[in-house]
Chain A
Amino acid sequence: MNRFSYVRATDVAQAAREAGAPAAKIIAGGTNLVDLMKYDVERPGRLVDITRLPGLRAIEDAADGGLRIGALVTNTEVAYDRRVEARYPLLSSTILAGATPQLRNSATTGGNLLQRTRCYYFYDVGTPCNKREPGTGCPAIPGVNRIHAVLGASEHCIATHPSDMCVAMAALEAVVRVSGPGGERAIPFAEFHRLPGDAPERDTNLGRGEVVTAVELPARGFPAHYTYLKLRDRHSYAFALVSVAVGMEMDGGRIGEARFALGGVAHKPWRDPEAEAMLRGQAASRDLFERAAERTLRGAKGYGHNTFKIELARRAIVRALEQAAAGTPQSQVDKRIR
């Protein structure tokens, strides 16, 4: 860990200004950033502490029937918020599927969006890594890649985004509110995280000096037909190998609006609009779900250790769609898969 200076921002404008400096880094809960600093992966010259910023700690009803979650609201506060539980149980479920109570108590909504990949090489400065040091290569491709991407990867990077919460936000079509040198703007969730392409060092489309201030959830929350199915190497406290978040509306036996997003398989929560479109207006059936899963994974590519994820994702999609359609969401407490 390097030496750094520290400033506690008192308003968003100051935070943005401070964060705009080349070596500056925003710190919120610190659960990801401090780890990365200990590993010398992040070496910020200045930490901009945003935890005392006013106005970023609330969950508020929006005029359009949605919900606005301040960037500093902790993961625990979101997961157990009555309105979230009632109107967006999917979001609650994804958060509770992640990390541990201690971590969720510290982790913030903004920090969760911006947490970095868990790629083993990214974390180990003794190895090359294009994301950490552009141009040095990607040892994960020929190396240990059990937790790596099977969709949307590039020859430069096959890392995944590790968040559970973001998978729900992708399915819910949340909007990320940011404030920066160019003023305020809204980024649709699908455009917030990036695919690695030839610039894997950039995880998101957030600009330098931009601060996430809130995440807005549209009114549609899929409270009756949803699920979050997370498959991992142990039953708790492990990142997803594959996860699926589903939000559905059912009209009798027919599917109305339908969305599903995958976690653990790509550099961002993965949605496939064509696969979702196949579901709408159809009667729920295993056959239909299998075809939608097939469609989602049509371009999938494995790299050895992670190749099993393609088949696992296929099956997880089918199971998750079944759970959602039946209104029997996966419990995050009981470890039995529904």
Chain B
Amino acid sequence: MSPIPNAETHVGSPRSRVDGRAKVTGAARYSGEFTAPDLAHGYVVNSTVAKGRITRLDTAAALAAPGVLEVFTHENRPRTAWFSYNYQDEVGPPGSPFRPLYDDKVVYSGQPIALVVAETFEAARGAASLVRVSYEAEAHETDLKNRMDEAYEPPKKRTGISPPPKPRGDARGAYADAPVKVSGDYWAAYEHHNPMEPHATTVVWEGGGKLLVHDKNQGVLNAQSYIASVFGLGKGDVRVVTPFVGGGFGSGLRPQYQLFLAVMAALELRRSVRVVLTRDQMFTHVYRPNTFQTVRLGANPDGALRSIQQHAIAGTSQFEDHQEVVVNWAGTLYHCDNVELTYKLAKLDTYTPGDMRAPGAPLGLFATESAMDELACATGVDPVEIRLRNYTEKDENENKNFTSKELRACYQVGAERFGWSKRNPEPRSMREGRELIGWGMASGAWEAQMMKTSARATLTADGKLEVACATADIGTGTYTILTQIGADAFGLRMEDVTTKLGDTTLPYSPVQGGSWTAASAGTAVQLACEAVREKLFKHARKASGSPLADVKLDAVSFADGRIEVTADPSRFVRIADAMRAGGVDRLEAEETAKPSMIDQLRYTGYTHSAIFVEVRVDEELGAVRVTRVVDAVAAGKILNPKTARSQVVGGIVWGIGMALEEETMPDHNLGRFMNHNYAEYHVPVNADVQGIEVVFVDEHDTKVSPIGVKGLGEIGIVGTAAAIANAIHHATGKRVRDMPITIDKVLG
């Protein structure tokens, strides 16, 4: 696409994070770290019942405590927007969004019911413990098992989430007739997002009705419109600046309640206010829903699928229908004529679940890919081979071709690197010392998306470039890849490029999520740079006696602060001279990247992976170690192998957690999550992670996005849990369909 096929020095090469130093030295400011003169601190009080009414909220003792400025409750909160639609955001599901401090109703345990604001954090926290609350509790239900009979298909679909495809063929009949059948029920526990950085908002009261908001989120513009709409402010009066995010994983896609509370308090007190959630409070909002699934596969003795049925029921809140893509993956990955996929919700007295890294996919694939493994065992066909036998070159859910699909190469390269051919297919056949060894694998897929995104490029006469976009960098490496793209566009060093992100005054970007940022913001930056290059080139040709006067744009290159004739670099114009010729000292362009409508109608885009895992199981004691992982990934063009690998490794590590450890435990009597801290909610630690190898398979794709990028944020996690479960089966002969696979479930 590039009108000037400039050399790629940085793009495609491993580059360290441009923000790495700032992060490790503490120079990078996070939302809870910004300060302001006269900053007041808010501390949240949360409900202890799951459902009912607040009958009394006694704040007298808290108000009397030294340093306390105000205690906000539903009784004295300022008037905010009345209608629930004012609280809607860019990515929220259908329903009425939660409105903090709206009235006396309690709709989930942990709901924020008061905000104590004081001169110091300590004073606010101390006073918060003095707030006395009485409730009239009502019977609640938080157990999905008790609500499955009432599960329903969400009547309104969530924007951007494909509902299950219409059934094709006759899945039930084909299953009944199939010579080989497997079927099973799968459970996945609740998981909570545990980014290192808790949710936090610092609102700087700038006077004149203007607010500067630092808020932990994955999209500053989304936060800005939420604030404007809820508090009836003009967007011009609300600037949201979030340069760094300490991990999002989806928890920052929707505005969280601390944003509302901090802005409310700042407006009311006419003063700067900061609200930071504690680690415990991180368990009082968004989470990955617990999900029940049934999978039935029917096949011929050679492993060819004749029927796929996958049915999911996921929990949601009473007030919103959160939806994600759980069951569609089997229909995308495999060829089968008889397919029935359904996805239902059940209402629980909880907060609304939300997107968590690859929302839906690792849940659905855990079930699909476990069942495929079971089918491999039942037919005696090798797990890789059975997937190849059912390979599809078409997305049969949509009846469209893929923009590209190198999954076959993933299987092949992954298997080779792993040494899969040495696997004895017999479960329990591999052993070393007391440990049983298991090798398992799974396929992975995630949508490759592109979203309308704008970016600005500004080149100054001194040969420095600034690129800017409102998108976030939630730790993925966005700063780095945009810097690489900008640097290559002008043949600059990375140090000569500054990337600005996470500010509502910068060009438009949607929230950072869905793995779409690299493709979208990357393309926008590329386009903006091209526009600047064209302008610059025009000026360069105008320079008196310009050696480029008769040269066309596609015959020049940008290098070392000059525009030179590619075939004869001795003919060149310096950037500074070109600018002088044009009478400018800077050139700027803003461009918008959009997905190609035609390609979107004709193709579907997916990232793919094949993941291979070795586990060692001490069966007598139920202890599982994941000793080796090889993940072969096809994700289009890899902009930076170093940050790309980090993304995939991070996803795999989380997959290990999902498979073996992560679980928020609800007490259904109390309707409350109980293990709400880092000591008891287990995420993987170093000792849980051994060798991880990531291989990127070549994939050329000109349709998925103009720069050929597919995105890597989610693909690492999607197949990992299934591969681990399959490896445990291979080691022990035990098929565990209930995540996480903890000691008690493995004990032989």
A positions within 8 Å CB-CB of B:
1-3, 38-40, 43, 118, 120-121, 123-127, 139, 142-144, 146-147, 231, 233-239, 241, 308, 311-312, 315-316, 319, 335-338
Q: Considering the chains assembled together, what is the distance between the CA atoms of A39 and B48 in angstroms?
A: 14
Take A127-B48, A143-B669, A319-B621 as given contacts and tell me if A235 and B743 are in contact as well, using a CB distance cutoff of 8 Å.
no
B661: A residues at CB distance < 8 A: 233-234
Contact check, B126 vs A118: say whether CB atoms are below 8 A apart. no
Chosen A-B contacts, 27 in total, with CB atoms closer than 8 Å, are: A1-B125, A1-B126, A1-B129, A3-B126, A121-B674, A124-B676, A126-B48, A143-B667, A144-B665, A231-B621, A231-B623, A231-B743, A233-B743, A234-B682, A234-B685, A234-B687, A234-B688, A236-B687, A237-B687, A239-B679, A311-B747, A312-B747, A315-B620, A316-B621, A319-B621, A337-B434, A338-B434
From 657 to 706 in chain B, residues with beta carbon under 8 angstroms from any chain A beta carbon are 660-661, 665-667, 669-670, 672, 674-677, 679-680, 682, 684-688
Residues of B within 8 A of A2 (CB): 126, 129
Q: A235-B625, A239-B679 are in contact. List 14 more A-B contacts (CB 8 A).
A: A1-B122, A38-B278, A121-B674, A231-B743, A233-B682, A235-B688, A236-B685, A236-B687, A237-B685, A241-B743, A312-B622, A315-B747, A316-B621, A319-B621
**Quick one: closest B residue to A235, CB to CB?**
B687
A interface footprint on B603-640 (CB within 8 Å = 1, 0 otherwise): 00000000000001010111101000000000000000
8 Å CB interface, B408-449 against A: 433-435
B6 CB-CB contact with A under 8 Å: no
B129 neighbours in A (Cβ, 8 Å): 1-2, 40, 43, 125
Taken together as a complex, chains A and B put the C-alpha atoms of A205 and B28 apart, in Å, by: 50
**Looking at the complex, which one of B672, B680, B688, B742 makes contact with A127 (CB distance below 8 Å)?**
B672
Which residues of the other chain, A, contact B744 by a CB distance below 8 angstroms? 308, 312
CB interface residues, B 16-57, toward A, < 8 Å: 46, 48
**B687 contact set on A, CB distance < 8 A:** 234-237, 335
Which B residues touch A236, using CB under 8 A? 685-688
Smallest beta-carbon distance B368→chain A, Å: 27
Q: Nearest 5 pairs between A and B by C-beta?
A: A126-B48, A236-B687, A308-B744, A235-B687, A120-B674
The complex places the Cα of A124 from the Cα of B284 at a distance, in Å, of 13
Residues of A with C-beta under 8 A to B677: 123
Q: What's the minimum C-beta distance from B473 to chain A, rounded to whole angstroms?
A: 28
Interface centre among B278, B660, B667 (most CB of A within 10 A): B667
Give the interface size class of chain B: 35 or more
Residues of chain A lying within 8 A (CB to CB) of residue B686: 236
Q: Is the CB of B621 within 8 A of A124?
A: no
A337 near B46 (CB under 8 angstroms)?
Answer: no
Partner of B46, one of A43, A118, A126, A146: A126
Contacting residues, chain B, for A43 (C-beta < 8 A): 129
Give, as a whole number of angstroms, the nearest-CB distance from A194 to chain B. Answer: 23
The answer to whether residues A235 and B685 also contact, given A120-B680, A147-B680 and a CB cut-off of 8 A, is yes
CB-CB under 8 A from A238, the residues of chain B are 679, 682
Question: Which residues on A sit within 8 Å (CB–CB) of B670?
Answer: 127, 139, 143
Q: Are A337 and B747 in touch, CB under 8 angstroms?
A: no
Residues of A contacting B660 in the complex (Cβ-Cβ under 8 angstroms) = 234
CA gap between A322 and B686 in the complex, in Å: 28
Q: How far is the CA of A144 from the CA of B743 in the complex (A)?
A: 16
Contacts of A237 in B (CB 8 A): 685, 687
Nearest chain B residue, comparing its CB with the CB of A3? B126
Footprint of A on B, CB under 8 Å? Answer: 46, 48, 109, 122, 125-126, 129, 278, 280, 433-435, 616, 618, 620-623, 625, 660-661, 665-667, 669-670, 672, 674-677, 679-680, 682, 684-688, 742-744, 747
CB-based contact A308/B669 at 8 Å = no
A238 to B667, CA, bound (A): 21
- Which single residue of chain A is at the shortest CB-CB distance from B679? A118
Across the interface, do A126 and B672 meet the contact criterion of CB distance under 8 Å?
yes
**How far does the alpha carbon of A238 sit from the alpha carbon of B680 in the complex, in Å?**
8
**Could you tell me the distance between the alpha carbons of A39 and B623 in the complex, rounded to whole angstroms?**
32
- Give chain B residues whose Cβ lies under 8 Å from the Cβ of A1: 122, 125-126, 129
Contacts of A143 in B (CB 8 A): 667, 669-670, 674
The interface residues of chain B lying within 8 Å CB-to-CB of A39 are 280
Q: Closest Cβ of chain A: how far from B149's Cβ, in Å?
A: 23
Report A-chain residues with C-beta under 8 Å of the C-beta of B665.
120, 144, 146
Contacts of B674 in A (CB 8 A): 120-121, 124, 127, 143-144
Query: How far is B128's CA from A126's CA once the two chains are assembled, in angstroms?
Result: 13
* A336 B435 Cβ-Cβ under 8 A: yes
Which residues of A are found within 8 Å of B623, using beta-carbon distances?
Answer: 231, 337
Contact A337 B680 (CB under 8 A): no
Chain B residue with the shortest CB-CB distance to A236 = B687
- A126–B111 Cα distance when bound, in Å, is 12
Highest count of chain B CB atoms <10 Å: which of A43, A125, A316, A337 = A337
Q: How far is the CB of B73 from chain A (nearest CB, A)?
A: 17
Q: Please, which residues of chain A bring their CB within 8 A of the CB of B667?
A: 127, 139, 143-144
How far is B679's CA from A237's CA once the two chains are assembled, in angstroms? 8
Task: Give the distance to chain A from B563, nearest Cβ to Cβ, in Å.
Answer: 54
- Cα of A124 to Cα of B671 in the assembled complex, Å: 14
**CB proximity of B670 to chain A, nearest CB, Å:** 6
Contact B625 A335 (CB under 8 A): yes
Complex: how many Å from CA A307 to CA B123?
43
Residue of B nearest to A238 (CB): B682
Closest residue of B by beta carbon distance from A2: B126
Question: How far does the Cβ of A185 sit from chain B's closest Cβ, in whole Å?
Answer: 33
List residues of chain B with CB within 8 A of the CB of A118.
Answer: 679-680
- Beta-carbon nearest neighbor of A128 in chain B: B670
Supposing A40-B129, A147-B680, A236-B686 touch, asked if A312 and B743 sit within 8 A by C-beta, the answer is yes
Residues of A within 8 A of B682 (CB): 233-234, 238
Cα A316 to Cα B618 in complex, Å, equals 11
| Residues in chain A near residue B109, CB distance under 8 A | 126
- Chain B nearest Cβ from A214, distance in angstroms: 28
CB distance from B686 to the nearest CB of A (A): 7
Is A315 a contact partner of B679 (Cβ separation < 8 A)? no
CB distance from A125 to the nearest CB of B (A): 8
The reply to whether A312 and B621 form a contact with Cβ atoms under 8 Å apart is: yes
A236 to B687, CA, bound (A): 6
Evaluate contact between B685 and A308: CB separation under 8 angstroms: no
State how many angstroms separate the Cβ of B128 from the closest Cβ of chain A.
9
On chain A, the residues within 8 Å of B676 by CB distance are: 120, 124
Please report the C-alpha to C-alpha distance between residue A237 and residue B670 in the assembled complex, in whole angstroms.
28
When C-beta atoms are compared, the residue in chain A nearest to B109 turns out to be: A126
Q: Which of B48, B122, B666, B684 contacts A234 (CB 8 A)?
A: B684
Contact between B685 and A319 (Cβ–Cβ < 8 Å)? no
Q: How far is the CA of A305 from the CA of B587 in the complex (A)?
A: 66
Cα(A38)–Cα(B128), bound, Å: 11
Q: Output the least CB separation between B736 and chain A (Å).
A: 13
B629 to chain A, nearest CB (A): 15
What residues of chain B lie closer than 8 Å to A126, measured between beta carbons? 46, 48, 109, 672
Cβ of B46: which chain A residues have Cβ within 8 Å of it? 126
CB of B554 to closest CB in A, whole Å: 56
Chain B CB within 10 A, most for which of A144, A238, A239, A315:
A144
Docked complex Cα distance between A248 and B636 (Å): 60
- Considering the chains assembled together, what is the distance between the CA atoms of A165 and B685 in angstroms? 21
The reply to whether B743 and A337 contact each other, CB–CB distance below 8 Å, is: no
Q: How far is the CB of A263 from chain B (nearest CB, A)?
A: 15
- B624 → chain A, closest Cβ, in Å? 10
Q: Which residue of A lies closest to B123 (CB)?
A: A3
Chain B neighbourhood of A38, CB < 8 A: 125, 278
A192 to B266 CA separation, bound complex (whole angstroms): 52
CA distance A292 to B125 in the complex (A): 51
Kindly state the separation between the CA atoms of A139 and B668 in the bound complex, as whole angstroms. 11
Give the distance in Å from the alpha carbon of A321 to the alpha carbon of B125 in the complex.
Answer: 49
B-chain residues with CB within 8 Å of residue A338 when the two chains form the complex: 434
Instruction: Say how far A149's CB is from chain B's closest CB, in angstroms.
Output: 16
User: Which of A2, A234, A308 has most B Cβ within 10 Å?
Assistant: A234
A143 to B126, CA, bound (A): 29
Give chain A residues whose Cβ lies under 8 Å from the Cβ of B618: 337
Please name the residue on chain A nearest to B656 by beta carbon: A234
